[in-house]
């Protein structure tokens, strides 16, 4: 951490210097832009094509959304939890500002969603949950969100959806290609962020290094009662992520890549509103190694990837005499072969192997879980490629239990502006190591959660004039899961397979873009989500949860974006709405809905021929007092300013 602190100090100096330079040279820079070709058109949203073959080819009927380049840039000083909660119709269960945040898709819990880093699952091997507040946007080059189950392609455990994260893919350039950019930010509650992205490549070698660091006091004030306020204490955050990649071109379309991702976060846990004080804190350090090889020929792709992930969590609460160490090890290997068959169809066969092991303060001998699978996917395009059909299947052995996970999906392009899709997948989630062996309370007799997921939708892309484009996407989904795992508690909390849960709903994504002239462009967008996830049956006598919404699943959730770009200035107003969240299974207790308004501005200019992007974000502009999770207050109005200087 010392080294990271030193690096961070240097970057703060650089960023401050850049700010100073910027303030004195804005006019100059604006003048310069008149004579220079624009390298970056503000307001232009580029959708990255995914490098995930499964998403690109074998999931034509699955709803997959991509976070565009402009949005990634807007949030480059923030984490994925902030980005997704403001821009995607998923519920981010955040335990406070800059605190633990988990992903909840379509009424599924955090443990029922997967996060994949270049195809490798990176959830905590014990809990089956990923803290997406520890995933810096800066380190990600491509973010895709897969809605709905797709266990055949991305593995069991993927009940509600998947978050696909991708790094920069190696690009080889015989002329020698270099890139270097630095980012920095500062904001309310003594938030400081800094980062660097750099890469070098020649005709054989690709090297990149990305790093991101952040500190924050998070000492915001909040309303305690109608006429009294309090300040958040014990809320400091210190974190750093560093990712290095080395790629080597073995031959034409034949690349070997090694990625190393290390991160270390120290977090204090502020007192909940019902606590007098808190001294809780935890340190979470992870090292992730990924060795990735792929070779392409005209009709064939071979690939293999092997990863090792080590997560360590040290939790301390001296008031409760807690001092625990949990260490998990995950090994993942996948080898695959894809081949074009004729002009219109492709076959993918792959073998994923996964082993996870946990060592806790209580169980020195460790517990482990292994998954081995043989999977295949076949895609065919018919009727002039209007109809795209994929069938996929996975035979998986989890420890000693075998399961077959079939799925099929299709899309049909009726016209160039209207397409339909449909998707049916078997859903399956094996209990996590924590659910099985947590001491005390783990239940080694837990059964897997299983069921079926169906979804369908259509996409409308209209371009009535060359200046106006309209995008509308609607999805409906239906999912029934048996043996749903619920933790029952008291002195000891134990998970049980007690219920069947029926989830269904509708999601829409709408975007209107109007380019008035070469300088002005307007945009308007809205995402909505309506999710009903209710307990259908239960093994418990006199259970009052039947027909009731499961906890922490808002029925309504939506985001609105409206703004404009003028030359190099981009302004966006983002508004989010999150509906009631019940905190008990019988709907007897709930948290009130909340709205947040967030104003975002970005301005691009040049600083000594170097592109400089200045961003300013005002979050919760209406100063709403709200909680995402009960009794964990969120901050009122707050600011975050950032810079990105592209030196090379």
Partner 1 sequence: MGRKAYKAVIILISCIALLSSCVKDKPSSPTTMGTGNTYVVCEGSLGNGDGTLYVYNSKLDSAYGDKYYAVNKQPLGDVFQSMQRIGDNLFLCVNNSDKIVVVDAANLQLKGTINVPKPRYILKISNTKAYVSSLFSNKVYIINPQSLQVTGSIDMPHLNTEGMLLYNNKAYICTWDTVSNKLYSVDAATDKIADSIPLAGYAPQEIMIDKEYKLWVLSGDMPEGKPCAFNRIEPDDDKLIKSYVFSPQADPVRPVMNRSNDSIYFIEADFNGNTQYNGIFRMSIYDASLPTAPFIAAEKYQYFWALGIDPATGYIYVGDPKGFVQKGTVSIYKPDASLVTQFNVGIGPGHFYFDE
Check binding of 543 to partner 1 (CB under 8 A). yes
Q: How far is the CB of 583 from partner 1 (least distance, A)?
A: 6
Check binding of 583 to partner 1 (CB under 8 A). yes
Task: Please name every residue paired with 182 in a beta bridge, in sequence order, or none if there are none.
Answer: 196, 645
Q: Please list every residue from 101 through 120 that binds partner 1, using CB under 8 A.
A: none
- Applying CB under 8 A, among 3, 27, 298, 541 the residue interacting with partner 1 is 541
The count of chain residues that interact with partner 1, using the rule CB under 8 A, is: 41
* Start-to-end CA span in the chain (Å): 28
Check binding of 406 to partner 1 (CB under 8 A). no
- Residue found under tokens 């008149």: 34
Q: Using the 8-state DSSP alphabet, how is residue 435 labeled?
A: H
Rounded to an integer, what distance in angstroms lies between the CA atom of residue 639 and that of residue 616?
7
Task: Please name every residue paired with 84 in a beta bridge, in sequence order, or none if there are none.
Answer: none
Q: How far is the CB of 584 from partner 1 (least distance, A)?
A: 5
Rounded to an integer, what distance in angstroms lies between the CA atom of residue 183 and that of residue 126?
34
Check binding of 173 to partner 1 (CB under 8 A). no
Quick check: 450 and 495 in contact, CB under 8 A? no
Quick check: 263 and 244 in contact, CB under 8 A? no
- Applying CB under 8 A, among 395, 630, 637, 647 the residue interacting with partner 1 is 630
Instruction: Give the contacts of 648 (CB within 8 A, at least 6 positions apart).
Output: 178, 179, 180, 181, 198
Check binding of 171 to partner 1 (CB under 8 A). no
Q: How far is the CB of 201 from partner 1 (least distance, A)?
A: 49
Check binding of 443 to partner 1 (CB under 8 A). yes
Check binding of 487 to partner 1 (CB under 8 A). yes
The nearer residue to partner 1, 254 or 544, going by C-beta atoms, is 544
- Applying CB under 8 A, among 39, 319, 374, 382 the residue interacting with partner 1 is 319
Quick check: 598 and 561 in contact, CB under 8 A? no
Nearest of 570, 498, 585, 594 to residue 541 by alpha carbon: 498
Q: Please list every residue from 42 through 71 that binds partner 1, using CB under 8 A.
A: none
Check binding of 490 to partner 1 (CB under 8 A). yes
- Applying CB under 8 A, among 7, 19, 230, 540 the residue interacting with partner 1 is 540
Largest interatomic CA distance in the chain = 76
The nearer residue to partner 1, 419 or 483, going by C-beta atoms, is 483
Check binding of 267 to partner 1 (CB under 8 A). no
With residue 34 as reference, give the H or E element that holds it: helix 2-35
Q: How far is the CB of 359 from partner 1 (least distance, A)?
A: 20
- Applying CB under 8 A, among 146, 162, 486, 621 the residue interacting with partner 1 is 486
Check binding of 229 to partner 1 (CB under 8 A). no
Check binding of 542 to partner 1 (CB under 8 A). yes
Q: How far, in whole angstroms, is CA 17 from its chain's centroid?
A: 32
- Applying CB under 8 A, among 494, 510, 536, 624 the residue interacting with partner 1 is 494
Q: How far is the CB of 630 from partner 1 (least distance, A)?
A: 6
3-state secondary structure 531-561: EEEEEEEECCCCCCCECCECCCCCCEEEEEE
Quick check: 596 and 82 in contact, CB under 8 A? no
Instruction: Give the contacts of 357 (CB within 8 A, at least 6 positions apart).
Output: 125, 328, 329, 330, 366, 367, 368, 369
Q: How far is the CB of 544 from partner 1 (least distance, A)?
A: 5
Quick check: 600 and 77 in contact, CB under 8 A? no
- Residue found under tokens 């443990």: 111
The nearer residue to partner 1, 454 or 587, going by C-beta atoms, is 587
The nearer residue to partner 1, 443 or 513, going by C-beta atoms, is 443
Quick check: 544 and 535 in contact, CB under 8 A? no
Q: Tokens for 594? A: 């909340």
Check binding of 277 to partner 1 (CB under 8 A). yes
**Residue 247: how many other CB atoms lie within 10 Å:** 23
- Applying CB under 8 A, among 225, 343, 415, 518 the residue interacting with partner 1 is 225
Check binding of 537 to partner 1 (CB under 8 A). no
Helix, strand and coil percent figures for the chain, each rounded to 5: 10, 55, 30
Q: Please list every residue from 413 through 442 that binds partner 1, using CB under 8 A.
A: 440-441
Part in contact with partner 1 (CB under 8 A); list of ranges 26-34, 196-204, 266-274, 341-349: 266-274
Check binding of 176 to partner 1 (CB under 8 A). no
Q: How far is the CB of 626 from partner 1 (least distance, A)?
A: 16
Nearest of 435, 466, 464, 465 to residue 448 by alpha carbon: 435
- Applying CB under 8 A, among 236, 526, 586, 610 the residue interacting with partner 1 is 586
- Residue found under tokens 């027909």: 547
Q: How far is the CB of 460 from partner 1 (least distance, A)?
A: 42
Rounded to an integer, what distance in angstroms lies between the CA atom of residue 344 and that of residue 596?
47
Part in contact with partner 1 (CB under 8 A); list of ranges 46-54, 99-107, 482-490, 634-642: 482-490
Check binding of 383 to partner 1 (CB under 8 A). no
Quick check: 316 and 281 in contact, CB under 8 A? yes
- Applying CB under 8 A, among 35, 174, 320, 384 the residue interacting with partner 1 is 320
Check binding of 223 to partner 1 (CB under 8 A). no
Q: How far is the CB of 539 from partner 1 (least distance, A)?
A: 6
Q: Name the site residues for partner 1 (rule: CB under 8 A).
A: 225, 272-277, 319-321, 440-441, 443, 445, 486-494, 496, 498, 539-545, 551, 583-586, 588-589, 630-631
């Amino acid at each position: 951490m010392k080294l990271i602190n030193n690096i961070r100090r240097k970057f703060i100096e650089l960023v401050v210097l850049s700010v100073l330079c910027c303030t004195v040279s804005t006019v100059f820079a604006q003048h310069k832009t008149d004579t220079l070709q624009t390298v970056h058109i503000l307001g232009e949203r580029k959708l990255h094509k995914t490098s995930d073959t499964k998403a690109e080819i074998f999931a034509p009927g699955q709803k997959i959304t991509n976070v565009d380049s402009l949005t990634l840039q807007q949030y480059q000083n923030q984490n994925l939890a902030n980005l997704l909660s403001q821009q995607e119709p998923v519920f981010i269960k955040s335990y406070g500002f800059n605190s633990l945040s988990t992903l909840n898709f379509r009424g599924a819990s955090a443990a029922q969603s997967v996060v994949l880093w270049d195809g490798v699952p990176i959830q905590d091997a014990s809990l089956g949950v990923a803290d997406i507040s520890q995933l810096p946007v800066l380190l990600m080059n491509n973010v895709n969100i897969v809605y709905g189950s797709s266990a055949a392609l991305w593995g069991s455990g993927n009940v509600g959806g998947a978050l696909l994260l991708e790094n920069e893919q190696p690009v080889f350039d015989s002329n020698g290609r270099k890139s270097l950019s630095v980012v920095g930010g500062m904001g309310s509650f003594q938030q400081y962020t800094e980062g660097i992205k750099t890469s070098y490549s020649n005709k054989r070698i690709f090297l990149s290094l990305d790093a991101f660091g952040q500190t924050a006091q998070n000492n915001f004030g909040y309303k305690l009662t109608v006429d009294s306020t309090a300040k958040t204490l014990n809320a400091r955050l210190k974190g750093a992520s560093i990712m290095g990649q080395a790629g080597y071109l073995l031959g034409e379309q034949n690349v070997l890549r090694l990625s190393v991702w290390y991160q270390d976060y120290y977090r204090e846990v502020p007192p909940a509103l019902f606590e007098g004080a808190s001294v809780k804190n935890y340190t979470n350090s992870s090292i992730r190694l990924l060795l990735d090889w792929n070779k392409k020929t005209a009709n064939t792709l071979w690939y293999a990837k092997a990863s090792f992930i080590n997560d360590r969590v040290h939790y301390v609460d001296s008031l409760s005499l807690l001092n625990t160490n949990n260490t998990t090890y995950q090994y993942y290997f996948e080898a695959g072969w894809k081949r074009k068959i004729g002009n219109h169809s492709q076959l993918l066969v792959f073998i994923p192997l996964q082993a996870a092991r946990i060592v806790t303060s209580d169980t020195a001998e460790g517990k482990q879980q292994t998954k081995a699978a043989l999977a295949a996917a076949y895609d065919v395009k018919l009727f002039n490629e209007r109809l795209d059909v994929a069938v996929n299947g996975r035979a998986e052995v989890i420890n000693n239990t075998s399961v077959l996970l079939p799925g099929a999906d299709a899309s049909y392009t009726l016209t160039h502006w209207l397409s339909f899709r449909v998707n049916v997948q078997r859903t399956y989630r094996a209990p996590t190591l924590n659910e099985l062996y947590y001491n005390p309370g783990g239940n080694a007799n837990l059964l897997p959660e299983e069921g079926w997921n169906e979804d369908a939708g259509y996409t409308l892309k209209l371009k009535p004039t060359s200046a106006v484009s309209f995008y509308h996407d609607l999805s409906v989904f239906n999912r029934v899961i048996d043996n749903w795992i619920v933790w029952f508690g008291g002195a000891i909390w134990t998970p049980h397979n007690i219920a069947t849960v029926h989830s269904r709903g509708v999601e829409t994504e709408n975007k209107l873009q109007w380019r008035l002239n070469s300088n002005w462009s307007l945009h308007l967008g809205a995402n909505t989500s309506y999710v009903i996830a209710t307990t259908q049956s239960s093994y418990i006598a006199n259970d009052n949860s039947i027909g009731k919404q499961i906890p922490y699943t808002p029925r309504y959730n939506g985001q609105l974006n409206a703004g404009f770009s003028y030359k190099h200035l981009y302004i966006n107003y983002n508004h989010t709405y999150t509906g009631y969240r019940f905190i008990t299974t019988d709907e007897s207790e709930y948290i009130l809905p909340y709205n947040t308004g967030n104003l975002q501005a970005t301005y691009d200019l040049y600083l000594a021929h170097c592109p400089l992007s200045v961003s300013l974000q005002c979050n919760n502009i209406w100063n709403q007092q709200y909680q995402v999770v009960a009794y964990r207050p969120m901050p009122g109005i707050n600011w975050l300013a950032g810079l990105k200087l592209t030196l090379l």
